[in-house]
Amino acid sequence: MPLDSQGSHVAKSPNADRRILFNTCAIIALAASIILPSTFNNPSQPMRTSSLSGRQYMADVLSCNNPRRCQEIFRMKVEVFHFLCSELAGKCWLEASKYITVEEKVGMFLWTMAHSASNRAVQERFQHSGETVSRCFHQVLQAITRLVPKYI
């Protein structure tokens, strides 16, 4: 082994740090290629399997006999929620899609805002994919910004 100039320690070769970094990266890449596909890319196991779909959840909240429930979940009364949905849909700024109603889109948006919820939390509560949640959130956000001149 080569010794340093004083002869007391083993001298590192100039490329030792690069080799260590390269080997570490190679080990991480190998581990990721083994672990990640089996963890995240298993299409045979459905992810959103709650017995209560987003549409059913919205119907449950909006038809509840206790008026405080809607106010606690969406931070507005049921009447105001329906008025907001009718305003957004009436101007054709927000439309229902094949699987998601205007009320569910607005509900996802308000639930996210009211609870500072993450996309994944909204996915779990409303039983939709992350892409769908994100698309609906931005559709409602754009529609609401169009109401600003009228009400603010």
Structural domain that includes position 24: 1-45
* Claim to verify: residue 107 and residue 141 sit in the same structural domain: yes
Q: Say how many domains are in the chain.
A: 2
DSSP per-residue letters across 3-58: B-TTSSSBPPPTTHHHHHHHHHHHHHHHHHHHHHHHHH--TTS-S---SS-HHHHH
pLDDT for the residue numbered 41: 58
Q: What is the mean pLDDT of each run of 10 residues along the chain (152 residues)?
A: 58 66 68 61 66 90 92 95 94 90 96 95 94 96 91 82
Distance CA 86, CA 82 (A): 6
pLDDT for the residue numbered 148: 87
Backbone angles phi, psi at 10, to 5 degrees: -75, 130
The letter for the amino acid at 118 is S
pTM of the model: 0.69
* Claim to verify: residue 96 and residue 62 sit in the same structural domain: yes
pLDDT for the residue numbered 138: 97
pLDDT for the residue numbered 24: 73
pLDDT for the residue numbered 14: 61
pLDDT for the residue numbered 27: 73
* Claim to verify: residue 125 and residue 58 sit in the same structural domain: yes
* Claim to verify: residue 40 and residue 111 sit in the same structural domain: no
* Claim to verify: residue 61 and residue 104 sit in the same structural domain: yes
pLDDT for the residue numbered 1: 53
* Claim to verify: residue 62 and residue 7 sit in the same structural domain: no
